[in-house]
Amino acid sequence: MHNIFFHFFRCSSVSFIPIFAATKKERQIMRTVQFREAICEAMSEEMRQDPSIYLMGEEVAEYNGAYKASKGMLDEFGEKRVIDTPISELGFSGIGVGSTMTGNRPIIEFMTFNFALVGIDQIINNAAKIRQMSGGQFPCPIVFRGPTASAGQLGATHSQAFESWYANCPGLKVVVPSNPYDAKGLLKAAIRDDDPVIFMESEQMYGDKGEVPEGEYVLPIGVAEVKRVGSDVTIVSFGKIVKEAFKAADALEKEGISCEIIDLRTIRPLDVNTIFESVKKTNRLVILEESWPFGNISTEITYQVQNQIFDYLDAPIQKINTADTPAPYSPVLLEEWLPNSNDVIKAVKKVL
């Protein structure tokens, strides 16, 4: 019954998803929590239920996490399940992958996914391939989580978005939530998943507040959500940059332009059906993504839409990305480099 329900949820019409979400939230007692607290709650709740789950990474224990996303977890679960590591992403990523083969379900925290490049061999060549190379004998239930993309004046080597890199690799699931509610529900699903999941957050979202139920809930991986219903143009985005889409939609509404906003939530598997149903209604598509413009998620969405529902388009698809350069350090240049709500407004007016 559980699987039948999720199949129905995944295949339902666009209007069903936000209605379901609202109805479910209304049934539960809601409280306001920070994004970092939602992450901590998800990990802690799952660790209480399953002793095979542990958290490992730099400063996750004694320091309560670089962004305080594991606050209090060392005191509750002890040093054997909340483990501080040396600065060695390749080493502790490999330990995590290896431990899945002995029945564990590790959560590996990267202080930033920029540092995950040091351990990417373990992620791509081992975690993503173990199930296939072992003929199905070894699943790899591991979550790699931490912040992605830019976070202010952190320079070129600390401001990169790698969603499309990991989504390019079969065997990995890639999740990028934009708010505390989605973050908690999706992280619980990621921890329970028998495949490796790349769970990408943002340093600039850890302090964001949102409503989260007191009770148990899990959100299915691979299901996008219509966050705002509209009729004139579809805007697709994910992660923290979704905020710019909402700013643009608010401004455009004053001019009589109605924007529908889809939050992908999951990059791989990609919920193209929700996008298709929206574009069939609005006939116009703008994609907002905080990444370099070449070979990214918006490129794939553009291909899927023009290949599957080309006849529904009344204008060429517009995609909005960062400038095609390394991230600058100067705040003035950084503001020009990053996509913003004004870029969205211009793109919407262009397709109209």
Catalytic residue positions, numbered: 89, 158
Phi and psi angles of residue 328, each rounded to the nearest 5 degrees, phi first: -80, 160
Contact 268, 172 (CB under 8 A): yes
Angle at the Cα of 164 from the Cα atoms of 145 and 54, rounded to 5 degrees: 15
Neighbours of 219 (CB within 10 A): 24
Length of the chain equals: 352
Quote the DSSP letter at residue 227: E
Phi and psi angles of residue 152, each rounded to the nearest 5 degrees, phi first: 95, -150
Say if strands 53-57 and 30-34 run parallel, antiparallel, or are unpaired.
unpaired
List, in sequence order, the alpha helices (H) in 50-162. 73-77, 89-100, 120-122, 130-133
CA distances from residue 236 to 86, 102, 117, 151, 171 in whole angstroms, order as listed = 39, 40, 27, 21, 24
Query: Amino acid identity of 168?
Result: N
Q: Which long-range contacts does 273-278 make (Cβ < 8 Å, 24+ apart)?
A: 273/11, 274/14, 274/17, 274/223, 274/224, 274/225, 274/226, 275/224, 275/234, 275/236, 275/301, 275/304, 275/305, 276/305, 276/308, 276/309, 277/13, 277/14, 278/14, 278/226, 278/234
